[in-house]
């Protein structure tokens, strides 16, 4: 599920912990100057981090067993009277001596003396924060936030370590309001951070845009995120923000930041406006660490909307959606440039399609029945002109778009396919890959309705797909741009087939009763290939 989608209304805003409730002891003070060097303190935590990290939703190496962990780098974000917030990068062993690096912001504080075992537990406290991290006044008491997926900060505590002056409790800073305030203030103020082997630099796509610094804020963890951690921030007198912390760090620019930043700078309203981002450098690796962007509350992504409309036989506004995708493609091409799709580039992409087909046929016999005709589709793709290659969304489907009142369609999450390496996701690609992804998603909505209720929504899907294509072609042809619909139709069939082959493998492995959905698409595309062959 995408992080820019509004969470359920049951998710309460998280108050600060830095202020005690009436009748409770204040948080224990933390004299940082009396602590051992922070590098030594963190080294004591590596065993507990190695045990804690694999249990987190964002940890991508669960199949590699319990890792060895080491501190790759760290930097202080905020030193407060009762706590310390650090940005820490942890390197974990994954296989054959290789390492992966994860961002794990940490909150260090003295445990509250309210547990018999002496370690203490996090105290729920009233209040809120200002945007600069200071405590706001005049805010009524509020209950502790409950993350819909994990419970009330159930996974916040990483461990307790012994240091002079008493034990230190170490928490995941994203699950603590003070920690979230420190992350946000560092990012949006532009201050950055520096520490041993780690530097954090902040950037803004529109530097002159005003920032709501110093205003009261509340924050909460978005419970739907999977591979990263996203925070929803509500700011007094300003529009809400969503802050995304990229957990797994890979060298290179993150397309989610680059593409949305370029679109924001170009004035596009088809993406949530990017407010700021940060790059991290650690042990020779440099990549994006954080982004903050406009949050669009009260709207859901188009997948559940499509399911409801398909089940009722009602129209989804896919014509304007197609136009929005074409508009984004045009703006990305203008901002980031294009590259000629020469013969070598086309052959490389088709070779990837063939290799995927070969691998899936070996695992899913039902796909092998269509192999010859699908190969013919790929052959045909090499016989027509290709559009210029450019930066694209890369993983476009109904779950990545919002229909926003008085604004229209908005596209989300430009990270690309999560299983592809970051370097591959940053390459120019064929824009028809995005078009094929949305066509497959519309087809899936109809298939999901049939799977759930037995209702035949194939006519709904056909109409929705046709309207999407018409909207895309019309918008792409504005300003006199030539659109080769005949060549595009051939290429689109190849990209759709490639996507359906991937879907078949996924469903065979994870949801065998959903396998008929991509198989039906492959049968339809194979029949098209056979018809084209007989016509020739």
pLDDT of residue 206: 78
d(CA 260, CA 278): 14
462, 473 Cβ separation under 8 angstroms: no
Of residues 289 and 536, which shows the higher confidence score?
289
d(CA 471, CA 328): 13
Band of the pLDDT at 3, cuts 50, 70, 90? very low
Ordered domains of the chain (ranges, CATH): 32-294 (no CATH), 302-535 (3.90.1200.10)
pLDDT tens, position by position, 7-48: 333 222 233 344 443 444 566 888 888 889 999 999 999 999
pLDDT of residue 188: 77
pLDDT of residue 26: 63
Distances (CA, A) of 518 to 160, 255, 434, 437, 439: 49, 28, 17, 12, 12
pLDDT of residue 21: 38
Average model confidence (pLDDT) across the chain: 85
Band of the pLDDT at 209, cuts 50, 70, 90? low
Band of the pLDDT at 185, cuts 50, 70, 90? confident
Name the residue with tokens 């240091």. 163
Global confidence as pTM? 0.84
pLDDT at 138 over 70: no
pLDDT tens, position by position, 40-82: 999 999 999 999 999 999 999 987 778 999 999 999 999 999 9
Distance from CA of residue 276 to its chain's centroid?
16
pLDDT of residue 145: 33
pLDDT tens, position by position, 219-267: 899 876 678 999 999 988 888 999 999 999 999 999 999 999 999 999 9
102, 59 Cβ separation under 8 angstroms: yes
pLDDT at 375 over 90: yes
pLDDT tens, position by position, 485-496: 888 999 999 999
51, 66 Cβ separation under 8 angstroms: yes
pLDDT of residue 533: 55
Band of the pLDDT at 407, cuts 50, 70, 90? very high
């Amino acid at each position: 599920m995408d992080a820019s989608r509004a969470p359920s209304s049951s998710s309460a805003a998280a108050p600060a912990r830095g202020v005690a409730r009436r009748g409770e002891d204040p948080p224990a003070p933390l004299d940082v100057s009396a602590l051992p060097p922070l590098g030594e303190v963190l080294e004591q935590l590596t065993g507990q981090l190695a045990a804690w990290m694999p249990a987190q939703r964002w940890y991508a190496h669960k199949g590699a067993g319990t890792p060895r962990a080491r501190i790759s780098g760290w930097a202080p974000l905020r030193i407060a009277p009762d706590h310390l917030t650090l940005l820490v990068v942890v390197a974990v062993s994954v296989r054959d001596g290789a390492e992966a690096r994860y961002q794990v912001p940490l909150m260090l504080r003295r445990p509250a003396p309210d547990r018999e075992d002496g370690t203490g537990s996090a105290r729920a406290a009233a209040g809120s924060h200002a945007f600069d991290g200071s405590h706001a006044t005049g805010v009524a008491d509020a209950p502790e936030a409950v993350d819909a997926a994990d419970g009330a900060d159930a996974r916040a505590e990483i461990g307790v370590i012994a240091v002079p002056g008493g034990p230190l409790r170490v928490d995941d800073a994203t699950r603590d309001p003070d920690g979230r305030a420190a992350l946000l203030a560092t990012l949006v103020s532009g201050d950055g951070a520096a520490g041993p082997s780690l530097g954090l630099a902040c950037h803004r796509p529109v530097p002159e845009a005003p920032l709501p610094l110093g205003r009261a804020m509340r924050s909460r963890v978005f419970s739907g995120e999977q591979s990263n951690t996203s925070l929803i921030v509500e700011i007094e007198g300003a529009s809400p923000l969503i802050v995304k912390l990229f957990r797994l760090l890979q060298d290179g620019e993150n397309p989610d930041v680059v593409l949305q930043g370029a679109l924001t700078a170009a004035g596009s309203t088809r993406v949530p406006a990017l407010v700021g981002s940060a790059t991290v450098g650690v042990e020779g690796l440099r990549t994006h660490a954080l982004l903050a962007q406009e949050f669009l509350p009260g709207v859901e992504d188009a997948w559940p909307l499509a399911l409801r409309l398909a089940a009722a036989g009602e129209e989804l506004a896919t014509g304007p959606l197609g136009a929005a995708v074409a508009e984004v493609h045009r703006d990305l091409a203008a901002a980031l440039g294009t590259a000629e799709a020469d013969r070598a580039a086309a052959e490389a992409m088709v070779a990837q399609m063939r290799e995927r087909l070969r691998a899936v046929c070996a695992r899913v016999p039902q796909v092998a029945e269509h192999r010859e005709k699908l190969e013919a589709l790929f052959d045909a793709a090499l016989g027509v002109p290709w559009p210029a290659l450019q930066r694209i969304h890369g993983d476009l489907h109904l779950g990545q778009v919002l229909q926003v009142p008085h604004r229209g369609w908005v596209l989300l999450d430009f990270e690309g396919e999560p299983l592809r390496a970051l370097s591959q996701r940053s390459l120019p690609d064929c824009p028809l890959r995005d078009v094929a992804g949305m066509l497959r998603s519309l087809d899936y909505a109809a298939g999901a309705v049939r799977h759930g209720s037995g209702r035949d929504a194939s006519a709904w899907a056909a109409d929705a797909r046709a309207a999407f294509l018409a909207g895309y072609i019309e918008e792409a042809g504005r300003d006199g741009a030539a659109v080769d619909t005949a060549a595009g139709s051939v290429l689109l069939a190849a990209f759709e087939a490639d996507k359906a082959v991937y879907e078949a493998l996924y469903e065979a492995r994870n949801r065998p009763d959903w396998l008929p959905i991509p198989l039906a698409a492959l049968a339809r595309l194979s029949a098209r290939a056979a018809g084209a062959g007989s016509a020739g």
